[in-house]
Amino acid sequence: MASDFQIIKPPWENPGVRAYLVTALSEDNERVTFDGQSCEGSKFRSLLEQKIHPLHPVSWIRQVHGNNIVRLPVDDHPEADGSFTTQKGVVCEVITADCLPIVFSDFAGTRVGIVHAGRRGLYLEIIARMVAVFGVPPGEIMVWIVPGISRENYVISKEICDQFLSLSSEYSSVFHQVRETEYGMDLYQTAKIQLSGLGIPQKNISGAEWDTFSDDRFHSARRNQEQAGRMATVVWMEKSSRL
């Protein structure tokens, strides 16, 4: 059996909306992967669903570092890196270990969504795709940027830096040079630039204050490589909850 799940909640209260980052270790202290491709991963997915008690089975989207967003519920496991719903009891989720999970809700609590926003997803403007399908004015959207890797520990190539700068010079603030052809990239600031450009007020944005690489509470692919676990971030509009 699993050890108890450890959860982090957003700093805001939105009646009827529940959002959590979930981490866990197995009984032998191994980092857990919610991947669904191993017995351990499938077991922990089931245990998490038992805690949440959703009204519809969790879809567990197949993430590919793209920008496809699906509307839930669906009856399969679609290839996507984001999802949203207007139905209570339907869970939107992503699994991560350095990339940013970004949770969306409207103030009225009538819809929720989530995206897996790594470097590729941000380049492909997955945040803009979510805002476009969300169906409410940007000023009515609340955003929680869940733990990801910091700029100090996320080093990318000059080629990637140049790709973002070709989109907008505004991204110059998210990079700092660490070696001749390598740059630290601030995923948090990249996401905030995109959210602001879409009209979401800064006061509506929370989170973006951790570093999965240096903080042992979190799983990190860059830190632990093939031994890294994966965290699940979930959001739903509740009718009942066991977490």
187, 148 contact by CB (below 8 A): yes
Quote the pLDDT of residue 243. 56
Mean pLDDT of 68-76: 95
The mean-pLDDT minimum among 9-18, 98-107, 127-136 falls in: 9-18
Q: CA 214, CA 150: separation in Å to the nearest integer?
A: 9
Mean pLDDT of 26-41: 78
Task: Give Rg (Cα) of the chain.
Answer: 17
Q: CA 28, CA 48: separation in Å to the nearest integer?
A: 18
Binned at pLDDT 50, 70 and 90, residue 116 comes out as very high
> What CATH architecture is 6-148+201-237?
4-Layer Sandwich (3.60)
- Tell me the pLDDT of the chain averaged across its residues: 93
The mean-pLDDT minimum among 37-46, 88-97, 114-123, 214-223 falls in: 37-46
The mean-pLDDT minimum among 6-10, 52-56, 137-141, 183-187 falls in: 52-56
What's the Cα-to-Cα distance from 35 to each of 25, 63, 231, rounded to whole Å?
14, 10, 10
Pairing between strand 205-207 and 141-145?
parallel
Quote the pLDDT of residue 34. 87
SS3 labels along the chain: CCCCCEEECCCCCCCCEEEEEEECECCCCCECCCCCCCHHHHHHHHHHHHHHCCCCCCCCCECCCCCCEEECCCCCCCECCEEEECCCCCCEEEEECCCEEEEEEECCCCCEEEEEECHHHHHCCHHHHHHHHHCCCHHHEEEEECCCCCHHHCEEEHHHHHHHHHHCHHHHHHEEEEECCEEEECHHHHHHHHHHHCCCCHHHEEECCCCCCCCCCCCCHHHHHHHCCCEEEEEEECCCCCC
Binned at pLDDT 50, 70 and 90, residue 159 comes out as very high
Binned at pLDDT 50, 70 and 90, residue 52 comes out as confident
Sequence ranges of the domains in the chain: 6-148+201-237
